[in-house]
């Protein structure tokens, strides 16, 4: 195999690992900062929550509850399973495996961090939740999904829509008082980081499946 091909593969695998690990590390360090402070809200957390509670309206509650439904729990699990099955049907098994592995890894690490840190949720919460506040699972799920779809489709508008979805999800979590703003930042970094890390060993195979499908469509 030509040396240039070996180098290309090394680069393809290396930068996702570095960037993904960096995002995951920063998100985890944010959680460590929260723990060191005795799980007390940071200044930005307190100020943001005060602003949110002063400007709550019914018009923002409805979309926030909608994002609460689609971003976690059974719906998020079904969505990940549906995407996995879809790409199995499309005969893209490596892509399907990537979706399943990234989704499972994201959920697992988020729950481990919640249990380890045990951060208390805001007092002005509008939901009944009993798990730890850091990181935001809904935001992590949204970030993981956005990165997964961005990588699979690889179109600028998919990345743009994904970014908007993640931001709206994060805003909805703080609006409902389910999370401090630093919880959502941590969730975004952790969810996106995990998706990129998991993608690294699958990158070439996913690319090959994409090209093979394009070739079949063109023939």
Q: What is the residue extent of each domain of the chain?
A: 3-218
- On whether the pTM is more than 0.85, the answer is yes
Among candidate residues 41, 150, 138, 137, the one with its CA nearest the CA of residue 98: 150
pLDDT in tens, the chain (219 residues): 444 344 345 545 678 888 999 999 999 999 999 888 877 889 999 999 999 988 888 899 999 999 999 999 899 999 999 999 999 999 999 999 999 999 999 999 999 999 999 999 999 899 988 889 999 999 999 999 999 999 999 999 999 999 999 999 999 999 999 999 999 999 999 999 999 999 999 998 998 898 787 656 665
What is the residue whose two structure tokens read 């959680």? 31
Q: Please name which of 120, 127, 123 lies closest in space to residue 61, comparing C-alpha atoms.
A: 127
C-alpha distances in angstroms, 76 versus 59, 71, 204?
24, 6, 27
């Amino acid at each position: 195999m030509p040396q240039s091909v070996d180098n290309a593969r090394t680069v393809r695998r290396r930068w996702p690992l570095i960037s993904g690990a960096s995002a995951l590390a920063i998100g985890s360090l944010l959680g460590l900062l929260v723990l060191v402070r005795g799980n007390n809200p940071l200044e930005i957390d307190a100020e943001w929550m005060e602003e949110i509670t002063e400007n709550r309206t019914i018009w923002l509650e409805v979309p926030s509850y909608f994002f609460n439904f689609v971003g976690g729990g059974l719906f998020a699990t079904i969505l990940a399973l549906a995407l996995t099955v879809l790409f199995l049907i499309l005969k893209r098994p490596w892509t399907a495996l990537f979706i399943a592995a990234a989704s499972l890894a994201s959920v697992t690490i988020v729950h481990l961090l919640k249990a380890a840190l045990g951060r208390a949720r805001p007092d002005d919460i509008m939901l009944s939740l009993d798990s730890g506040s850091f990181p935001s699972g809904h935001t992590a799920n949204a970030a993981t999904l956005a990165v997964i779809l961005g990588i699979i489709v690889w179109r600028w508008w998919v990345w743009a829509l994904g970014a908007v979805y993640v931001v709206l999800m994060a805003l909805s979590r703080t609006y409902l008082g389910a999370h401090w703003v630093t919880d959502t930042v941590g969730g975004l970094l952790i969810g996106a980081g995990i998706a990129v890390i998991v993608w690294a060993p699958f990158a070439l195979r996913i690319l090959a499946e994409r090209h093979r499908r394009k070739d079949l469509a063109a023939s």
